[in-house]
Amino acid sequence: MAVVEREGPKLKLVHLHRFPLKTLYANVIGYVKALCEHYTQVEAVYVDQTGIGEYIVEDMRKSGIPAVKGIILTMQEKEKIMTFLKQKMLNRQISIYHDNELIAELNIEKFEVTKEGRIKFSHPVGTHDDMLWAFALAVYATKDNAGKILIL
């Protein structure tokens, strides 16, 4: 989970959280709802809808979480998201607080070009990239929204 806030032309990471494995979806939804109440100007809640994410998206909507949008992380969608993050970083429009796990995930993510010319992302065995993708998706959500962004 990552929350990004716009500060002029810059995007600032203001919240980052990794849920332990096997956390109940109801607990995740409750956490998101509490964050939405804390950050009163939430413009969008982008949710990784890959796999069983459709259930979570629907439950979030039923729970009254504002502006929920499910994103299926296909290879093409991941390429768009990471390209947008890279451009924001190159333009020095990203501000993150020091978080060892996020920094590690940013540094160890791998990519390869497939024979179709697409970019495929991966991380080494025994590592994670959940925080990286939450952060990247939060930054990507700012493409179409002007205010605070919340992402799962």
Look up the pTM and report it: 0.88
Q: Which of 86, 83, 89, 105 is nearest to 18 (CA)?
A: 105
d(CA 141, CA 46): 7
Task: Pull the structure tokens for residue 138.
Answer: 């939060």
d(CA 121, CA 113): 9
pLDDT surpassing 70 at residue 59: yes
DSSP H or E segment with residue 31: helix 25-38
Per residue in 12-49, pLDDT tens? 999 999 999 899 999 999 999 999 999 878 889 999 99
The per-residue pLDDT of the chain, averaged, comes to 90
pLDDT value of position 61: 94
Task: Pull the structure tokens for residue 25.
Answer: 């979806």
Domains of the chain as residue ranges with CATH:
2-151 (3.30.420.240)
Residue 68's pLDDT band, with cuts at 50, 70 and 90, is: very high
From the number of C-beta atoms within 10 Å of its C-beta (0-12, 13-18, 19+), residue 128 rates as middle
